Structure 1
Amino acid sequence: MVETGPAADWARNQVDHNRVPVAVLGVASSHGIEDIVAFGSDGGRQATTDDHFALFSVTKPISALTVMRQVELGKLALAASLGDALPGFGVGRTDTVTLEQLLSHRSGISDPALDDGTPLREALTSAGQAFYSGSLVQYCNIAFEGAAAMAEWADGRPFEDQLLALAADTGAHGLTFNTECNPHTVHGTDAAGLDVQAMYKNRHPGAGLFGTATDLLNLGTDLLRNSGKAVRPATLAAMRRPRTREVSHITTRPQPLRHTGLGFQMPANESDLFAQGIYGHPGWSGTEWWMFPEQDRCVVFLTNALDTPDRGVDTNELFNAVAVS
């Protein structure tokens, strides 16, 4: 196992500088996994390359891939209405919330807290309206429960079964919503006011998956190959197409850091990056999963601390290290 090189050195430095407790860094190409390394220990637990981590929002593109399988089969349309799939949703709304808007954060659904004790489907049905669908962009977790409901409506199987079928088809066998996988403890939840165990119980299709570096690298390898095992090439191209460039964002930051396709995110400003065409997703727990088509690279960075940018973790440094690896 090679533990040197720009990307591995970057991951090691995050632990050495106490920005994160542990780190697992993995790199793959369309030919398969090239390297996985682990650094650090937490509460006496040494990090290993096989460890499960709470993926948080890295869940979103995996759920989106699952839903898009129904679209490419002709069972579901991007213009389909959530109200048709979920009777009772949107009572009093005069707009139509579509699958495309759900997957690109343009649904206008008011987002409940991740640790809300209300069952997700009930919380979605009773959710309020933040804005007219399609008119603005606002990050929304509960929207992915809407997308999951539409996939169930189209296919008849529980969404979790559909997602695990995607995982099995792409070698991501360790992906799970079950805490019995012994994931690393996530730090910073008390300060953030997050009851993480309550969130885990929701098995949230926008934030609830656990996985290993191998899981994400195998899935990333399939996307780089464009083999069609996850989704077909035309589907992946549609998912990578930015859908939020000309729409105003409701955000606490002065400008969007990333644009959104269907489940995937893309850097909004590539001027600081060596590579172009990057797509993937970050997670609140510090997790990162990104594909670099031009360089034929997938990178996975797994850790266990909320708000890592505030701790000094600069993902652009990682992106550039991967681009030259």
Structure 2
Amino acid sequence: MVETGPSADWARKQVDLGRVPVAVLGIASSQGIEDVVAFGTDDGRQATVEDHFALFSVTKPITALTVMRQVERGTLSLGESLGAAVPGFGAGRTDTVTLEQLLSHRSGIADPALDAGTPLREALTSAGQAFYAGSLVQYCNIAFEGAAAMAEWADGRTFEDQLLSLAGDTGAGSLTFDAACNPHTVHGTGTAGLDVQAMYRNRHPGAGLFGTAADLLNLGSELLRDSGKAVRPATLAAMRRPRTTEVSHITTRPAPLRHTGLGFQLPANESELLAKGIYGHPGWSGTEWWMFPEQDRCVVFLTNVLDAPDVGVDTNQLFNAVAAS
């Protein structure tokens, strides 16, 4: 195992400077996993490369890949209305919320708290309207419950069964919504007012997955190969196409601005980066999963601190280290 190099040095530095207690850094190519290293100790627990972490919003592109399998099979369309799959949704709304809008944060659904005790499908059905669908961009977790509901409506299997099928097909077999996998404790939840155990119980398709570096690296390697085991090449190309470049954003975190495809995020200011065409997703818990098609690289960074950028974790530094290595 190689424990030196720009990317590994960057991950080690985040632990050494006390920004995060533990970190796992992994690199893969289209040929498979190249390197995984672990650093740090948290309350006596030594980080290892096999550890599960709470992925938070890294869940979103995995959910989107799962749902898009139904689109490429012809059982769903991106223009399909959420109201068709969830008849109680949108009472009083005069607009139509589509699957494309759900996956690109343009649904206009008012987002309930991640740790709310209301069952997700009920929370989706009763959610208010923040704006007319398609007119603005606002990050929305509950929209991915809507996308999951549409996948169930189209296929008949539970959404979790569909996602685990994707995971099994792509070497990501330890992805799970089950907190019994012994993930690392997430720090900062008290300050943020998040009841993380309540969030875990929701098994949220926008934020609830747990996974290992190998899970994300294997899935990322499959996306780089673009062989169709995850989704077909045309489907992946559509998911990487930005859907929010000409639409105003409502955001409480203006930097770094990222545009959204279908489930995937795309850096908006590529002038700060050595690589072009990067796509992937960050998680609130400090997790990162990104593909670099031009460099044939996937990078995974797993840690366990909410709002890691606020304590100095600069992922643009990581992106440039990956691109140059």
TM-score normalised by length of structure 1:
0.99
* Residue 227 of structure 1, CA deviation: 0.7
Question: What amino acid sits opposite 2:74 in the alignment?
Answer: G
* Residue 254 of structure 1, CA deviation: 4.2
Residue in 2 aligned with 1:188? 188
The answer on 1:287 being equivalent to 2:287 is: yes
Q: What is the correspondence of 1:50-89 to structure 2 with a 5 Å cutoff?
A: 50-89=50-89
Q: Distance in 2 between matches of 1:93 and 1:273?
A: 41
* Residue 124 of structure 1, CA deviation: 0.1
Q: Distance in 2 between matches of 1:243 and 1:39?
A: 37
* Residue 252 of structure 1, CA deviation: 1.8
Residue in 2 aligned with 1:315? 315
Q: Distance in 1 between matches of 2:159 and 2:165?
A: 10
Residue in 2 aligned with 1:125? 125
SS at match of 1:39: strand
Q: Distance in 2 between matches of 1:254 and 1:209?
A: 26
SS at match of 1:259: strand
Q: What is the correspondence of 1:1-325 to structure 2 with a 5 Å cutoff?
A: 1-254=1-254, 257-325=257-325
Question: What amino acid sits opposite 2:136 in the alignment?
Answer: L
**CA-to-partner distance for each residue in 1:248-283, whole Å, 9 max, x for gaps?**
000124466100000000000000100000000000
SS at match of 1:87: coil
SS at match of 1:271: helix
* Residue 92 of structure 1, CA deviation: 0.3
Q: Distance in 2 between matches of 1:282 and 1:124?
A: 23
Question: What amino acid sits opposite 2:86 in the alignment?
Answer: L
SS at match of 1:112: coil
Question: What amino acid sits opposite 2:116 in the alignment?
Answer: D
SS at match of 1:291: strand
Question: What amino acid sits opposite 2:114 in the alignment?
Answer: L
Q: Distance in 2 between matches of 1:80 and 1:122?
A: 20
Contact 1:26 1:35 in 2 (8 A): yes
Q: Distance in 2 between matches of 1:280 and 1:4?
A: 24
Q: Distance in 2 between matches of 1:206 and 1:48?
A: 26
SS at match of 1:237: helix
Q: Distance in 2 between matches of 1:142 and 1:161?
A: 19
Contact 1:249 1:256 in 2 (8 A): no
Contact 1:49 1:213 in 2 (8 A): yes
Question: What amino acid sits opposite 2:39 in the alignment?
Answer: F
Question: What amino acid sits opposite 1:59 in the alignment?
Answer: T
% identity of equivalent residues: 85
Q: Would you identify which runs of 4 or more consecutive aligned residues in structure 1 move more than 2 Å?
A: 253-256
Contact 1:14 1:313 in 2 (8 A): yes
SS at match of 1:14: helix
Question: What amino acid sits opposite 2:227 in the alignment?
Answer: S
Question: What amino acid sits opposite 2:269 in the alignment?
Answer: N
Q: Distance in 2 between matches of 1:208 and 1:35?
A: 26
Q: Distance in 2 between matches of 1:257 and 1:221?
A: 26
Q: Distance in 1 between matches of 2:20 and 2:12?
A: 10
TM-score normalised by length of structure 2:
0.99
SS at match of 1:38: strand
Decide whether aligned partners of structure 1 residues 127 and 248 sit closer, same or farther in structure 2, where only a CA change above 3 A counts. same
Q: Distance in 1 between matches of 2:122 and 2:163?
A: 21
* Residue 306 of structure 1, CA deviation: 0.2
Which ranges of structure 1 fall in alignment gaps of 5 or more residues? Answer: none
